[in-house]
Amino acid sequence: MKAFNNYIIAEIGINHNGKFNNIIKLINLAKKAGADAVKFQLFKPETLSNLKDLKRYKILKKSETLFKFWNRVKIKKEWLRKISNVCKKNKIELGFSVFDKESLNLLKEINFDFIKIASSDINDFDLFSEIKKYNKPVIASTGMANIREIKKIYNFFDKKIYILHCVSLYPTLLKDINLNRIKKLSKIFNCKIGFSDHSIGILAAIKAFELGANIIEKHFTLKKNMNGPDHKSSADFNDLKQICFYVKKNKSLLGNGKIFPSNKELKMKKFCRKGLYAKNDIKKGHIFLQKNIIIRRPYNGLDPEKISIFLGKKNKKNLIEGQSLKKANIS
């Protein structure tokens, strides 16, 4: 298990639209983009909706009840082992947002790396009691939660939990993201803090990382114009690739901070800086004038400001055009 440093989760969630082939494509693309993990949502439809509620919603092309929608996009039990094997083959970690105890129980049969608690379930301590038994890293989103609720779940897991700043609006407008909350959470809780991003685009994810987020969770889709509630605010392959590239390369970009040129720069300095040279043939005994000297590349050890030490002095030996000047040339 990785240490959740600069850790990027491609939240596939329900963006597979209930099609196993989409799941395989999304796992492969997440790995190719550079993500550390993929995550899915595991639930029983009857815990997210009322079977008897016949009100219809237009979600996936045609209108349907919420129960039919959740039933359509659920992860089927027979898919779990295949998903685990594909992740293992791709060397990408696997996590699940688990919404009920029966779904959690299905994870006993497969290999996975972490459990996610959704913002909607931050008060479900009956579920937490079962999650604790798995001895897996736990990540919790904090959308809609106040500080008292966050402290309660933090203490319940004996402070061995990872907390994600989250705004439960889909999509989240940039003006509502409140990324400074990441810094406040970092001061209050002695654990790694991350960001679960529901905004459109990649700006918020990158800024969150700059503010100290160790974990970036971003919904991931094949195409943003697919039918479904999360696709619009999701990253496609190019978006995810940009986020991963920035986060993974950030350490290299920052460097060591020393105000001194590197050895590579010192070599370049000899090529790029300018020195002092004879602009024309200069005979021995000639008095150096401004018109006899040219400042040009490459650097020869004499900074241009040293021209004053030559002016008005006699030349000690014949110089040809283009020859490098030396202090030994003057008397």
Which of residues 237, 254, 271 is at a domain's end?
254
**Residue 33's domain is classified under what CATH number?**
3.20.20.70
Say how far apart CA 193 and CA 128 lie, in whole Å: 19
Confidence of residue 68 (pLDDT cuts 50, 70, 90): confident
Query: Based on the domain organization, do 205 and 248 belong to the same domain?
Result: yes
Query: Based on the domain organization, do 227 and 284 belong to the same domain?
Result: no
Whether residue 1 is predicted with pLDDT greater than 70 in this model: the reply is no
1 inside domain: no
pLDDT for 61: 58
CATH number at residue 268: 3.90.1210.10
Q: Find the angle CA(27)-CA(30)-CA(36) to the nearest 5 degrees.
A: 105
Q: Residue 252's pLDDT band (boundaries 50, 70, 90)? A: confident
Residue 165 lies in a domain: yes
Structural domain ending residue among the three candidates 232, 254, 276: 254
- Contact between residue 116 and residue 109 where contact means Cβ atoms under 8 Å apart: no
Say whether both 116 and 154 belong to one domain: yes
State residue 66's pLDDT score.
86
Highest average pLDDT, of 48-57, 76-85, 245-254, 320-329, comes from: 76-85
Residues 208-213: contacts with CB under 8 Å, at least 24 apart: 208/165, 208/179, 208/182, 209/6, 209/246, 209/247, 209/250, 211/179, 211/180, 211/182, 211/183, 212/182, 212/183, 212/186, 213/165, 213/182
Residues 180, 93 share a domain: yes
Same domain as 287, residue 141? no
Distance in angstroms (rounded) separating the CA atoms of residues 119 and 164: 9
Do 301 and 205 lie in one domain? The reply is: no
* Amino acid in position 62: K
Across 297-322, average pLDDT:
94
For the cut 90, the answer to whether the pLDDT of residue 21 exceeds it is: yes
Average pLDDT of the residues of the chain? 93
**pLDDT value at residue 59:** 64
Supply φ then ψ for residue 299, to 5 degrees: -70, 135
Same domain, 14 and 142: yes
Average pLDDT over residues 19-32: 97
Is 2 among the domain residues? no
Domain final position from 254, 275, 295: 254
Q: Looking at the 3D structure of the chain, how many domains does it have?
A: 2
The model's confidence at residue 63, banded by pLDDT at 50, 70 and 90, is confident
Count Cβ atoms within 10 A of the Cβ of residue 136 and give its class: 0-12 exposed, 13-18 middle, 19 or more buried. Answer: middle
Could you tell me if residue 40 is inside a domain? yes
Token digits for 257? 């901070």
Look at residue 129 and tell me if it is in a domain: yes
Q: Give the helix/strand (H/E) hosting 276.
A: strand 275-278
- pLDDT score, position 251: 75
Domain span at residue 59 reads 7-254
| pLDDT value of position 235 | 95
Tell me, yes or no, whether 238 and 274 share the same domain: no
